[in-house]
Structure 1
Amino acid sequence: MSDVTDAPRHFRTAAVIPAAGRGVRLGPGAPKALRALGGTPMLIHAVRAMARSRAVALVVVVAPADGVAEVKRMLDEHALPERTDVLVVAGGETRQESVRAGLDALPETITAVLIHDAARPLVPVDTVDTVVEAVRDGAPAVVPALPVTDTVKEVEPAAGGAPEPVVATPDRSRLRAVQTPQGFDLATLVRAHDTIAVSGEGATDDAGMVEKLGVPVVLVPGHDEAFKVTRPLDLVLAEAVLARRRATDAY
């Protein structure tokens, strides 16, 4: 792997972490990003994951509109890499609105941006660096991904828990499960938000918005530990991964 610190001086990367969602699938309580993992809020783990990359100069945390002060206090209470600046801004009602708020907060010196889920707290720094390097090398949009190991069925949705008829079985060898951080040339992602989001089309991730522009999106290898903490069982797995890292001094 090449050294991301060798990037030209004009190439500067920021990370935006939308953390304004409530995370209802984890059950009642604090927003998902503020749930504890190994005694530390998941959001702190996610910020540290971005800040560990020497290529990331700034991390923008997009907090719930009524939680900006709380998130700022939380960040102040936990140690973060000093070489990376951290900024907290208020998010919107949707993930798209929150990402756009993060983009609007970036200084003019930033040329590339990573969009990272706060609910993926354990992504390794090598994965972050791989995404940054691919953008630095000229890819306008880069997504880490893993091969799909389960057979996937396309169905006709049915209401009320009724059996759903299968309409197709996609070729698993051509499917990938995408992760974050997703990396972008900043101008490309801003254009996607200016055109796709404004038109009301939207997408389930930022790379999908760029795809709708007709701009190529490339995949790089993801990592098993970059999984998304969505359900209580995911939190158990994340605790186990974190405990193993701490036991082996890998964290």
Structure 2
Amino acid sequence: MMPTNDEDRDSLQGDVTVLIPAAGQGLRLGGTLPKALRLLRGRTLLQHAVDRAAAAPSVSAIIVAAPPGWEEQVRQQLSWCPLVTVTTGAQNRQASVAKALALAPRADIVLVHDAARALTPPAIFEAVAAAIRSGADAAVPALAVTDTIKVVDAEGIVTATPQRENLRAIQTPQGCRADLLARAHAASFDVATDDAGLIERLGGRVKTVPGSHMAMKITHPADMEWAQHLLDTVGDANQGG
């Protein structure tokens, strides 16, 4: 982990709580361990994710929703970081986020981050938080889409081709004020994969900030190979932006 400069942290708001739902099994990634506990260059994806979240100077707390039955191991793996609290995750991401949020009753800005985006640089956390401080209802990192995207029906027939310049691939962390996230979760009756989408359903406006290719989502075995390549060629993403 990159050492955190306490003076830098104290000089900023320190108003950010990061929630990391990490209870997923990651069936597409293979193996017997939960996805967040898979190793990348000798450290778990969760450890990499916490490294980078903790290196963001505005972050004052990190709450991890761990895979059920793995809580103590996760606590031991993250014992170096005094910002971390570990709770038991739930059956789906949305419920895990709600459980983690309940442990942060005094939180101001909340960033929800996927452990699978283990190499997200600290600067992305800061950019999302800054957008919330500037008045955005919610904020997400985004990258321009380079592939042509097609909309298809149930039979695989193309029904539309959206204009590529208006499309963005959304990453995490996704941020908003804690009270707004709590209201969004309370108002949602179906399972969502995207916290910003819950804010949209309440009528909130979601601002995008520039994302990072280091914030790739690790889903398949090939993604692990690419993440290893990024670490080997780009270096420690703690330094990145």
TM > 0.5 fold call: yes
Q: Take 2:215 and 2:175, find their aligned partners in 1: how far apart are those partners?
A: 15
The partner residue of 2:233 within 210, 220, 244 is: 244
After superposing on structure 2, the runs of 4+ consecutive aligned residues of structure 1 that deviate more than 6 Å are none
TM-superposed CA distance for 1:4, in Å, is 8.1
2:86 is aligned to 88
Q: SS state of the match for residue 78, structure 2?
A: helix
For structure 1, which runs of at least 5 residues remain unmatched after alignment? Answer: 159-163
TM-superposed CA distance for 1:127, in Å, is 1.2
Q: Take 1:248 and 1:124, find their aligned partners in 2: how far apart are those partners?
A: 5
The partner residue of 2:205 within 212, 216, 236 is: 216
1:126 is aligned to 123
1:46-125 → structure 2 map (5 Å cutoff): 46-76=49-79, 79-80=80-81, 85-108=83-106, 110-125=107-122
Q: Take 2:135 and 2:158, find their aligned partners in 1: how far apart are those partners?
A: 40
1:177 is aligned to 169
Say which one has the larger Rg: 1
The partner residue of 2:139 within 135, 139, 142 is: 142
1:4–1:132 contact (8 Å) kept in structure 2: no
Q: Take 1:61 and 1:54, find their aligned partners in 2: how far apart are those partners?
A: 18
The partner residue of 1:232 within 221, 225, 228 is: 221
> How many equivalent residue pairs?
233
Q: Take 1:175 and 1:203, find their aligned partners in 2: how far apart are those partners?
A: 20
TM-superposed CA distance for 1:107, in Å, is 4.0
Q: Take 1:101 and 1:12, find their aligned partners in 2: how far apart are those partners?
A: 20
User: CA 1:218/1:246 → structure 2, altered by over 3 Å: closer, same or farther?
Assistant: closer
TM-superposed CA distance for 1:120, in Å, is 0.4
Report whether the alignment pairs 1:195 with 2:187: yes
The partner residue of 1:15 within 9, 18, 21 is: 18
Identity %: 42
Q: Take 1:153 and 1:126, find their aligned partners in 2: how far apart are those partners?
A: 32
Q: Take 2:64 and 2:192, find their aligned partners in 1: how far apart are those partners?
A: 21
2:15–2:60 contact (8 Å) kept in structure 1: yes
Q: SS state of the match for residue 210, structure 1?
A: helix
For structure 2, which runs of at least 5 residues remain unmatched after alignment? Answer: 1-7
TM-superposed CA distance for 1:69, in Å, is 1.2
Aligned-residue CA RMSD (Å): 2.0
Q: Under a length normalisation based on structure 1, what TM-score does the superposition of the two structures give?
A: 0.87
